[in-house]
Amino acid sequence: MQDKTIVCKDCGEEFVFTVAEQEFYAEKGLDHEPVRCKACRDAKKARNNRRSY
């Protein structure tokens, strides 16, 4: 296994999906790669949290 460079579907920036993150995903049974960078994932979570109140 090795680090992978992925392009964020929201902002278009490249981010690294590290070996440690890949192992974490595998351990949790997640068979897909992330499609958003950390900043966009955090922004999406914040938007979703505001809607739930």
Task: Please compute the mean of the pLDDT values over residues 16-38 and round it to a whole number.
Answer: 97
pTM of the prediction? 0.80
Q: What does the pLDDT read at residue 50?
A: 83
Burial class of residue 25 (count of CB atoms within 10 Å of its CB; 0-12, 13-18, 19+): middle
Residue 53 above 60 pLDDT? Answer: no
From 29, 49, 45, select the one nearest 37 (Cα to Cα).
Answer: 45
